[in-house]
A = this chain, B = another copy of it.
Amino acid sequence: MADLNEETLTDAVIAQMASTPDPRMREVMESLVRHLHAFARDVRLTPQEWLGAIDFLTRVGQACTPYRQEFILLSDTIGLSRLVNLMDDKANRTGEATEASLLGPFYRENAPEFGHAESMATRAKGPEMILFGRILDDEGRGVPNAVVEAWQTDADGAYDLQANDPEVMDMRGRYHTDADGHYAVRTLIPLGYSIPMDGPVGAMVRQQERHGMRPAHIHVLVAADGYRELVTALYLGHDANIDTDTVFGVSESLVVNLRENLPGSPVPSLPSVRYDFRISKRAAGDTTGRVGADPSKIAAE
């Protein structure tokens, strides 16, 4: 028998898991065990702390419902969701394509269709804005008939699923580019919002004295035949929390600012943002991922 101590235990665990037939599962579990044990050794985790962690994770699991995914929220608040998103983007983004961001839990299939510069705020009221620009390919040519799908909070910081009867759709819509790749979305200026703070993850964020806020943003999904689907978001630079997003979704290249009298805006009298999204041809074997893609699971994007 190999005697177990804190140095030999990790290898003993990995040796027992070596029977795993699936090579990827074996690789992932070996790495997980090594890193998790290294963490416990580094901080000299005590039995009391271990029991606290067991209790916390149990409460996270038990807070999950068909409409709330507290483990995704935990993953979001410790930066793991964004890390997976960044790695996926690095592995699969090609050419000059726009950076990805988190899809989040508020995406819904079958959003209503709108015409060029038509407003997707069909119920909510508040200060308006325009988002417009072009969908471009790797050579900078406009992509005709691309679908530009946008969704966001209303001017109070609530998504339709939070503000209305869940059957109602608002503040989301599908637009199509013209022959030169132009698109234009008329909408409300979104408001930033707090992640759900009433569960165990909210309690953790409070213990860390973090504000728990996400800066205002507009989610955008761009799809066109033969191109890689782009899942991203634009973040409004005027938001006070633009540098301290609780779920680390913001990238410099995705920060935009509202401008008055912006040339080319279909409604120059409204504050406007011009943003050209770049998409790339779909490669063979592309594993585009939608992190947090299950729309029945509500976390914090």
Which parts of A9-64 form the interface with B (CB within 8 Å)?
A: 9-10, 12-13, 16-17, 19-22, 25-29, 31-51, 54, 57-62, 64
Residues on B with beta carbons closer than 8 Å to the beta carbon of A244? 16
A299 nearest in chain B by CB position: B54
Question: Which secondary structure dominates chain A's binding surface?
Answer: helix
A50 nearest in chain B by CB position: B84
A19 nearest in chain B by CB position: B209
A64–B37 Cα gap in the complex (Å)?
A: 23
A291 and B58 in contact, given A4-B250, A6-B90 (Cβ under 8 angstroms) = no
**Is A80 touching B40 in the complex (CB atoms < 8 A)?**
yes
List the number of copies, as a whole number: 2
| Residue picked from A246, A289, A294, most chain B C-beta under 10 Å | A289
**Is B208 touching A19 in the complex (CB atoms < 8 A)?**
yes
Residues on B with beta carbons closer than 8 Å to the beta carbon of A162? none
Q: Separation in Å of the A256 CB from the closest CB of chain B?
A: 13
A248 and B75 in contact, given A20-B207, A88-B46, A208-B19 (Cβ under 8 angstroms) = no
A35–B41 Cα gap in the complex (Å)?
A: 11
A257–B26 Cα gap in the complex (Å)?
A: 35
A42–B49 Cα gap in the complex (Å)?
A: 27
| Residue picked from A1, A44, A82, A84, most chain B C-beta under 10 Å | A84
Is A290 located at the chain interface by the 8 A CB criterion? yes
Residues of A in contact (CB 8 Å), total 88
B62, B88, B292: which contacts A64 (Cβ < 8 A)?
A: B62
**Is A33 touching B79 in the complex (CB atoms < 8 A)?**
yes
A230–B209 Cα gap in the complex (Å)?
A: 39
Residues on B with beta carbons closer than 8 Å to the beta carbon of A44? 87, 91
Which parts of A130-177 form the interface with B (CB within 8 Å)?
A: none
**Is B41 touching A32 in the complex (CB atoms < 8 A)?**
no
A57–B64 Cα gap in the complex (Å)?
A: 10
Instruction: Bits for A251-295, please: 1 = Cβ < 8 Å to B, else 0.
Output: 111010000000000000000000000000000000101111110
Q: Name A residues whose Cβ lies closer than 8 Å to a Cβ of B.
A: 1-6, 9-10, 12-13, 16-17, 19-22, 25-29, 31-51, 54, 57-62, 64, 69, 71-72, 75, 78-88, 90-91, 207-210, 242-244, 246, 248, 250-253, 255, 287, 289-294
